[in-house]
Structure 1
Amino acid sequence: MPTERVTFSGHDGGKLAARLDLPDGPVLATALFAHCFTCSKDIPAARRISARLAAMGFAVLRFDFTGLGHSEGEFANTTFTSNVEDLIAAAQFLAGRNMAPDLLVGHSLGGAAVLRARAGIPSVKAVVTIGAPADPGHVAHHFEDARGQIEQDGSAEVLLGGRPIRIGREFVRDISESKLTPSIAELKAALLILHAPRDETVSIDNASTIFLTAKHPKSFVTLDDADHLITRPKDAEYAADVIAAWVSRYVPLSPPAPPPGAPEGVVRVTEVDPGGFLQDIQSGPSHHAVADEPASYGGTDRGMSPYGFVSAGLGACTSMTIRMYARRKQWPLTGISVDVCHNKVHAQDAGLAGDGKIDQFRRKIRLDGPLDNAQRTKLLEIADKCPVHRTLENSAHITTELLPPEPVSAPA
């Protein structure tokens, strides 16, 4: 996934640091990600969701709000309203690159911000919130003990998420006065709400309020026992999968049609977990799967194994080839199933010369419908003519090229 380090001017003219994650192919749509309160653009959940969307063809801009991460300015001088203005500035920056955002994704207070900012970003077709408060004032309870000092001194340092941060008087007053109900009711975009029932930072009641206030189309998906920051990899992966499946219904992701006879294109496999074996598999913008190994081999068993995918290819191609022949002959074939098992066997056991082991794929084909014996025999013969069967039987020529690594850049 290519990534550009970019900066743009925020609400007060200060430079905001951002990463623009790009697809390997054409940009089919654009997303803008707003991180959680006091977090940064580089938290694991933001990276995983961004990578998943980029694999689908999205360009994804994730940036640090004023005074956070690597952006200029003082967070103590910001407000909820200024965060919304930063979001609109980010959208304008993207529009200047002919990438006006189609999708807004906001985490925690960033979720509240995207709900408010939607009215100022007319290109948006869909909005996703993750653990978002229905009222920005909800975050005030995190520094309730410091409210007196904030009002008296203009700001105070409080501990949030295990890190000290300075909260200003105007920020407290602004979130107390900001109401999201009108923005949610007039969102004029598809809405997906992700929230964990056990979220101890922003309670699940907030998701209910947002859902009941919003108009259709709207969806709510629970994140089960995830924490507020979506810190566990499996929770970030689940959130990314849900967003990817949902957004394709509301944001068109249609690449230019290839000419007849053109190769299918690149199947991109990307490592997800360096500590295990989980892999992202993306074929074009619309087709995604994951590969893994069983737990007994050090994997997490969250996807088929590599040989499982080979077996699936053989089974699918077998079924398709049989169907095409039966359809052409107008035979009464009502259903097909193909079971495929893979194993390593000794060449001599398979009746072949040599002492080594070879791969054996065993197919069990079921053909439903009022077919006569001659038709069934012919369709079994046709099964051996499927292209994948021929590839595996005749072997294939594989060429390999080592590419240079992605350039390592300092954090934006």
Structure 2
Amino acid sequence: MPTDRITFQGHAGQLDARLDLPEGPHLATAVFAHCFTCGKDIPAARRVAARLTTMGIAVLRFDFTGLGHSEGEFANTSFTSNVQDIEKAVEYLNGRNMPPSLLIGHSLGGAAVLKATANLDQIKAVATLGAPFDPEHVTQNFSDALPQIISEGVAEVSLGGRPFKIGKDFIEDVAQGSLTPAISRLNAALMILHAPRDTVVSIDNASEIFLAAKHPKSFVTLDDADHLITKGEHAEYAADIIATWAKKYLALKPPAPPIGAPEGIVRSSEADPKGFLQDITHGTRHHILADEPRAYGGTNQGLSPYGLLSAGLAACTSMTIRMYARRKEWPLEHVSVDVSHNKVHAQDAGTTTEDKIDEWKRRITLSGALDGDQRARLLEIADKCPVHRTLERTSKVITELVAEGAAMADA
């Protein structure tokens, strides 16, 4: 995904940000708010952004005041200032003619997007990941330092192995940061994602947020994920759930397909540059994953490229048989097609060349009160499947190198 490095004015200085852009048409915009003392580049934020951009949704990720490369002193920030930074992000995007309609927040960032959404009528959907119902919950991370903070006004604490100065204003602010009024007046769809085994913010918080919210609202558990959603498969699951849910509430209206491609463009985009996982999209409504088995360096989270080819042959075969039987009004109750792929010596397939060729084996199961002649005819019809015929004859693949960024205009 193309990414612009930008800065925008926060509540107390310039905030460092990444604006992840779709490779195709830009259809909507989202803002991602990171967890307490984290940053915009945590794995969960990157994966959610990558998945949303495949749908045409641009995503702004930014470091809160005093974190990362953003200006300001972290010791002077508060829960309220986090909410203000989110509102400033929305204001910045509105000024770029990219008004956001989706907010996503992780942990304390999730609490902040709930608070901000209540004041932003333009937001149509908001998703939280491991968010606390009570912002004061975050003080459990440095409870030993609370007496010093209260008595001296500030104290240095260690969070995630890094030193941070926490001020008294922060403590007093989160103590008064009840989310109940904000959640009860949300004018947006709500998605709550939380891990049952979260040891930082217990899943009870998710239940309280859910009960305080009005419909439409959804609640999804992240199974074995940790609070930071550090594992790739957990981040992938969260990203896919948010993307699938959000498109129901956002007005994603893709342009007409380009000339010469009546079904639109199929795009494969790297989801994990360190492996082989691919986001494959066909417009904004269809998404699948492609990958390689672990034995070949992949993570086995999707079909292999040859698996996708085999799936195309199997699906087309079944559709072609169903179409013919429906037209003939034959009693075909169900079709299933098993396809396997292998590289074989050409002689074994009855050809004269010495090279290896691709061989697809297809097993078709037909259910219903069909007679022998009908079954034989449907087997003949299977060979007329368009994908079958394409695989059997020579095809032409035209390849061209596209300049970086040009794909966005062509899609």
Counterpart for residue 4 of structure 2: 4
The alignment partner of 2:233 has SS state of: helix
Q: 2:105 maps to what in 1? A: 106
What is aligned with 2:384? 385
Matching of residue 199 in structure 1 with residue 194 in structure 2: no
Q: Is 1:161 the equivalent of 2:144?
A: no
- For the residues of structure 2 that align with 1:211 and 1:346, how far apart are their CA atoms? 60
Equivalent position of 1:410 in the other structure: none
**How far has the Cα of 1:404 moved from its partner?**
5.5
Partner of 2:409: none
Mark the CA change 1:406 to 1:168 in structure 2 (over 3 Å): closer, same or farther: farther
Amino acid at match of 2:10: G
Deviation readout 1:130-158 (Å, 9 max, x if unpaired): 11110111111222222233233322211
Deviation at 1:59, TM superposition (A): 0.9
Cα distance in 1 for residues equivalent to 2:271 and 2:118: 35
Q: 1:228 to 1:336 in 2, by over 3 A?
A: same
Per-residue CA deviations over 1:57-101 (Å, capped at 9, x if unaligned) read: 101111111111111111111111111111111111112222222
Q: Find the residue that maps to 1:397 and give its secondary structure.
A: coil
Distance 2:267 2:393 in 1: 25
- Structure 1 residue 405, shift from structure 2 partner: 6.2
State the number of aligned residues.
Answer: 406
Relative to structure 2, which stretch is displaced further, 50-59 or 297-306? 297-306
Percent of aligned pairs with the same residue? Answer: 67
Matched AA of 1:224: D
Structure 1 position 394 matched with structure 2 position 400: no
Partner of residue 15, structure 2: 16
Residue pair 2:27, 2:57 contacting (<8 A) in 1 also: yes
Are residues 211 and 42 of structure 1, via their aligned partners in 2, closer, same or farther at CA, if it must alter by over 3 Å? Answer: same
Partners of 1:237 and 1:350 in 2: CA distance: 41
Distance 2:57 2:266 in 1: 17
Q: Which moved more, 1:257-266 or 1:165-174?
A: 257-266
Correspondences of 1:202-281 after superposition (within 5 Å):
202-258=201-257, 262-281=261-280
Q: Deviations over 1:196-215 (max 9, x none)?
A: 12222111211111112112
Tell me by how many angstroms 1:8 deviates.
Answer: 1.6
- Confirm or deny: 8 A CA contact 2:289 2:302 kept in the other structure: yes
> Secondary structure, in 3 states, of the residue corresponding to 1:144?
helix
**Please, what is the CA RMSD of the aligned residues?**
2.1
Say which is worse superposed, 243-252 or 22-31, in terms of deviation: 243-252
Moved over 6 A (4+): none
The answer to whether the Cα contact below 8 Å between 2:257 and 2:264 also exists between their aligned partners in 1 is no
Distance 1:274 1:65 in 2: 27
Distance in structure 1 (CA, Å) of the matches to 2:296 and 2:110: 39
After the TM superposition, which residues 32-71 of structure 1 pair with which residues of structure 2 at under 5 Å, given as runs? 32-71=31-70
Structure 1: gaps (5+ residues):
408-412
- Secondary structure of the 1:62 match is strand
SS in structure 2 opposite 1:156? Answer: strand
- 1:277 Cα deviation from its structure 2 partner: 2.9
TM-score (ref. length: structure 2): 0.93
Please state if 1:128 is matched with 2:122.
no
Output the TM-score relative to the length of structure 1.
0.93
Give the Cα separation in 1 of the matches to 2:42 and 2:294: 27
Q: Letter of the aligned partner of 1:396 in structure 2?
A: S
SS in 1 for 2:347: coil
| Counterpart-to-counterpart distance in 1, 2:328 and 2:260 | 25
Counterpart code for 2:301:
R
Using a 3 Å threshold, how does the CA distance of structure 1 residues 252 and 373 change in structure 2: closer, same or farther? farther
Which whole-Å CA distance do the structure 2 matches of 1:299 and 1:7 have between them?
Answer: 36
Letter in 1 for 2:181: P
Bigger Cα displacement from structure 2, 163-172 vs 147-156: 147-156
- Matches of 2:124 and 2:174 in 1, distance apart? 26
Q: CA deviation at 1:400?
A: 2.8
Question: What is the aligned partner in structure 2 of residue 143 from structure 1?
Answer: 142
Cα distance between partner residues in 2 of 1:203 and 1:345: 55
Conservation of the 8 A alpha-carbon contact between 2:40 and 2:61: yes
Structure 2 Cα separation of the partners of residues 8 and 20 of structure 1: 11
Q: Can you list the C-alpha shifts for 1:370-399, whole angstroms capped at 9, x where unaligned?
A: 444444333322222222111110121223
- Quick check: 202-211 or 143-152, which moved more? 143-152
Match of 2:342, SS state, is strand
One-letter amino acid of the counterpart of residue 46, structure 1? A
2: CA distance, partners of 1:69 / 1:406 = 27
Q: Which moved further from structure 2: 59-68 or 94-103?
A: 94-103
- CA distance in 2 between counterparts of 1:289 and 1:240 reads 13
Structure 1, residues 294-319: CA drift from partner, whole Å, max 9, x if none? 23333332222211111001111112
**Which letter does structure 1 place at the counterpart of 2:168?**
R
315-324 or 234-243, larger mean C-alpha shift: 315-324
Q: How far 1:45 moved relative to its partner? A: 0.9
Task: Look up the SS of the partner of 1:101 in the other structure.
Answer: coil
Look up the SS of the partner of 1:253 in the other structure: coil
Q: Please say which of residues 166-175 and 147-156 is displaced more in the overlay.
A: 147-156
In the TM superposition, what is the alpha-carbon distance from 1:242 to its structure 2 partner?
Answer: 1.5
Instruction: Describe the shift of the 1:42–1:248 C-alpha distance in structure 2 as closer, same or farther (beyond 3 A).
Output: same
CA-to-partner distance for each residue in 1:182-236, whole Å, 9 max, x for gaps?
A: 1112212211111112222111211111112112222221122222111121211
Offset from partner CA, 1:235-270 (integer Å, 9 cap, x none): 111111111222222223231343797443332223
- The more displaced of 247-256 and 164-173 is 247-256
In the alignment, the residues of structure 2 paired with residue 98 and residue 275 of structure 1 have an alpha-carbon distance, to the nearest angstrom, of 34
Q: Distance between the aligned counterparts of 1:216 and 1:142, measured in 2? A: 32
Q: In the alignment, does 2:191 pair up with 1:184?
A: no
DSSP 3-state at the match of 1:191:
strand
The CA deviation string for residues 331-381 of structure 1, in whole angstroms up to 9 with x for no partner, is 443322111111222211111112222111111222333444444333322
Per-residue deviation, 1:40: 0.9
Which letter maps to 1:158? Answer: V
**Structure 1 residue 406: Cα displacement:** 7.7
Structure 1 pair 89/128, CA: closer, same or farther in 2 (3 Å)? same
